[in-house]
Amino acid sequence: MDVLGEHCTATASASDSAEPLHDFQFICEALARSLSSRAMQSYQVEHLHSAEAVDDAINREGESGRLVVVRFGRGGHGDCVRFDDALAAAAERVGPGVAAMYAVDIEEVRDFNAMYELTEPCTVMFFYGYRHVNVRGLRGRDGIDWAACTGGEFAGLVLAVHERAKAGRRLVIVD
């Protein structure tokens, strides 16, 4: 049992009533599961802190057959926070053999802001075989509301982009 679970059990043992003890243990176990799940998710999405680290991540995967997904954005912005949850859930669903997922704070790493026209609070870019894979909505690049994506939806998108990129396509249009 982890430290939080041990603390909850020890604290609950001091209680006089058996019924509140059961409820307290249940809540502590649920909290421990939630925290360990969050820790696993943050492990799935690596945060990159320099332009060199971003370039290295893209180059490292160049011949691996894996898609590289990079979320550029303002880390504290609500849209980025929501999308990071979806990104982590998608990373768990698609697995490490399909895609490597990264997050970059554009306030910390400003090198790509002008090059990639990073003006939105949350922008997602895909790379495959050293090259950018352009993913657009029906209304163009700005037609995708990344913050509205769920983990399942984004996992499906990652799988679709990966398949199309393996087939040599550099433009993927989603509706």
The CATH number given to whatever domain includes residue 81 is: 3.40.30.10
Reduced to 3 states, what is the DSSP secondary structure of residue 146?
A: helix
**The pLDDT of residue 5:** 40
- Give the span between the Cα atoms of 90 and 150, in whole angstroms: 8
| Residue 36: domain span | 3-41
Residue 136 and residue 59 share a domain = yes
- Give the span between the Cα atoms of 67 and 2, in whole angstroms: 35
Residue 129 and residue 85 share a domain = yes
Task: Encode pLDDT of 9-22 as tens digits.
Answer: 333 334 344 444 44
CA 148 to chain centre: 14
pLDDT higher than 70, residue 42: no
Which residue, chain included where needed, has tokens 């669903």?
A: 93
Residue 97 and residue 150 share a domain = yes
CA distances 18 to 12, 22, 71, 90, 146, Å, are 9, 6, 48, 40, 47
Reduced to 3 states, what is the DSSP secondary structure of residue 129?
A: coil
Residue 123 and residue 61 share a domain = yes
**The pLDDT of residue 174:** 81
Residue 144 and residue 58 share a domain = yes
pLDDT higher than 60, residue 168: yes
Residue 89 and residue 32 share a domain = no
Residue 35 and residue 53 share a domain = no
Task: Encode pLDDT of 18-37 as tens digits.
Answer: 444 445 555 545 544 444 44
If one counts the domains in the chain, the total is 2
Contact 71, 83 (CB under 8 A): yes
